[in-house]
Amino acid sequence: MMQRADAVIRLALVDVQTIFREGLGALIGHEPGLEVVAQATSVQALEGLDVEPDVVVTDLALPDIGVEQIIERLRRRFRDASIVALTASDELATVQEVLAAGADGYVLKSAAPGDLFAGIRAVARGGLYLQPSIGIAFASRSPEELSHSASTPLTGKETEVLRLLALGHTNVEIAALTSTSLRTIETHRAHIHQKLDRHTRAELVRFALDIGLLRLREEGAGVD
């Protein structure tokens, strides 16, 4: 659920380390437009609370539950919330696993507070956020190469639009990045949804990862 620009973003924090979690809550409390409405030491504990946050910020190192289960259970319980993974793990495979499971953001615990705040605001607007300083980037295969493969029925231009959509860009941003009219981008997007029968950003991200359109590499700048 995307937030209005002037709306307060309600947050739920999940982390087994009480000092870290409460310290983060206190830090967020000083940031305009953000409000912590719940804290929990586990996904199960958060599931039992009568809250409806806009964004859930969760660690990935939780007891007795795997990374995919964390995201899937949060997504199931808080259907309208965006999910940001705040973790110490900078493993590329973990980043890919978390995004494929349906998370909207990925930030390291060593990040500057501004990176986390930017990520929270980005996912609350419906975008995808990766902390720039984690030193990874999404690299794509050639859109023309992919459009001729059996894995996707999309044209080269539709494939490029899909890649940018999966990275969290809006129609307006894609139009600017590709020097294309907004109406044309909207048409491409409609064709993508129709051809793939996938209608949410999470579904598009999973498809893009599955066909190798988005690949993680260790060198290069981060994507925010």
Give per-residue pLDDT as tens, 153-187: 888 888 888 888 877 778 888 888 888 899 999 99
- Distance (Å, whole) CA 45 – CA 38: 10
**Model confidence band, residue 44 (pLDDT cutoffs 50, 70, 90):** very high
The least confident of 5-14, 18-27, 149-158, 168-177 is: 149-158
Quick one: average pLDDT of 124-152? 58
Query: Quick one: pLDDT at residue 6?
Result: 61
Query: Quick one: pLDDT at residue 37?
Result: 97
- In the predicted model, is pLDDT for residue 13 greater than 80? yes
- In the predicted model, is pLDDT for residue 151 greater than 60? no
- In the predicted model, is pLDDT for residue 30 greater than 70? yes
Average pLDDT of the residues of the chain: 82
Share of the chain above pLDDT 70, in %: 83
Q: Going edge to edge, which strands form the sheet with 82-87? A: 34-40, 9-14, 55-58, 82-87, 105-108, 129-130
Query: Quick one: pLDDT at residue 147?
Result: 45
Query: Quick one: pLDDT at residue 165?
Result: 83
SS (H, E, C) the chain: CCCCCCCCEEEEEECCCHHHHHHHHHHHHCCCCEEEEEEECCHHHHHCCCCCCCEEEECCCCCCCCHHHHHHHHHHHCCCCEEEEEECCCCHHHHHHHHHHCCCEEEECCCCHHHHHHHHHHHHCCCCEECHHHCCEEECCCHHHHHCCCCCCCCHHHHHHHHHHHCCCCHHHHHHHHCCCHHHHHHHHHHHHHHHCCCCHHHHHHHHHHCCCCEEECCCCCCC
Structural domains of the chain sorted by starting position, each given as residue range(s) with its CATH number in brackets: 9-134 (3.40.50.2300), 139-217 (3.40.50.2300)
Quick one: average pLDDT of 107-117? 92
Highest mean pLDDT out of 10-24, 76-90, 134-148: 10-24
Backbone angles phi, psi at 76, to 5 degrees: -70, -40
Q: How many residues does the chain have?
A: 224
